[in-house]
Amino acid sequence: MFDKLQAVEARFLEIESKLSDPSLADRPDEFRRLSKEHSSLQELVAEYRLYRKTKSDIDSNKELLKEGDADFTQMAKDELKTLEPELEKIAARLQVLLLPQDPNDQKNILLEIRGGAGGEEAALFAAELYRLYQKFAERQGWRTEVMSVSQAEKGGFKEIVAMIEGTKVYSKLKYEAGVHRVQRVPETEAQGRVHTSTVTVAILPEAEEVDVQISPNDLRIDVYRSSGAGGQSVNTTDSAVRITHIPTGVVVACQDERSQLKNKEKALKIIRSRVLEAEQARAAKEHSDTRRAMVGTGDRSERIRTYNFPQGRLTDHRINFTLYQLPDVMEGHIDQLLDALQTHYQAEALKQEGYAQA
């Protein structure tokens, strides 16, 4: 591990030297590339330097113990009681920081939520789940924009697609993809029986134009009149846009904006992210990045998580994690859950890298 850390610090110092070169001002692309790499290494290098300092302090205190002076001996013992556990914590953090980074962790995301099994009740919970993520995003200082929505007859969403923009959004929310199961008594249930419904969630990293190249010749763009509630423009102008990516068959329709241009821009963003997802899935099937792997069929038996309203309980089945704070969770307080998921998957990654676990 420490050979890797020394090499990282050497690269960090090399980049710092290059960034101080005045001639770099004439190469803005190179400056941005080096600045990004410098920023990505900064936390790891700082932690490594803290490790070295703490190790040096421990060695100094152990030397004091050898001198035999009573006052210094007690002081050294007290210091070691603090420093040695701290060194173990720093070493653990370094192991995590050395794990291969997901290149999508810094990206914004497209959040896609669809009602699964359960009809209208599933659509209602889809809306509540979207509100949960919206509330969480607000608390993180992120920006949420609805890209496409299909309303259900009795309220809720058949489907909603939203862009969430902010710092490391994908990193925090990537484990939310899958089938979410809800157990509760619907308002329309006269007998008070608990019903089980499902909602599927997909988390797609936002694809920029540099991430995926889509030829205009591969797109079929259709315009048509909007339908449903939407103001004066409904059924009077061809503002709705449907885009088909011919090679993959991916189809996206947007009609939420009055402007055809804005609807087209939104549809293209979704198209790019879905095409990127498909390309990444083909390149790395072991990561199961396809939407099918994310959300399955929406069947009740396929679930990553259960929201049990009668018991006020949330259970994540992947890590056997349970919270009896469902009302708080539905208000977007999912930090504890997300931290538990991240810790679990980091531990699994450390095992694969061969690091010893404490």
H or E stretch including 253?
strand 250-254
| CB within 8 Å of 90: residues ≥ 6 apart | 47, 50, 51, 54
> What is the rounded distance in angstroms from the CA atom of residue 247 to the CA atom of residue 357?
46
Select the CATH number that applies to the domain covering 109-208+290-348 from these four: 3.30.70.1660, 3.30.540.10, 3.40.50.1220, 1.10.3720.10. 3.30.70.1660
Select the CATH number that applies to the domain covering 216-282 from these four: 3.10.129.10, 3.40.50.720, 1.10.357.20, 3.30.160.20. 3.30.160.20
Using alpha carbons, select from 306, 339, 309 the residue that is nearest to residue 322: 306
pLDDT tens digits along 150-167: 888 888 999 999 999 998
Average the pLDDT over 175-204 and give the result.
88
pTM confidence score: 0.67
> What is the rounded distance in angstroms from the CA atom of residue 4 to the CA atom of residue 293?
34
Please give the pLDDT value at position 355: 60
Task: Supply angle C-alpha 273, 36, 339, rounded to 5.
Answer: 65
Domain residue extents for the chain = 2-97, 109-208+290-348, 216-282
pLDDT tens digits along 297-351: 445 456 899 999 999 999 999 999 999 999 999 999 999 999 999 989 888 888 8
Q: By the 8 A CB rule, do 311 and 286 touch?
A: no
Please give the pLDDT value at position 141: 95
Q: Sorting pLDDT into bands at 50, 70 and 90, what band is 287?
A: very low
The dotted CATH code for 2-97 is 1.20.58
Using alpha carbons, select from 175, 164, 160 the residue that is nearest to residue 128: 160
Provide the token pair at 325. 């704070």
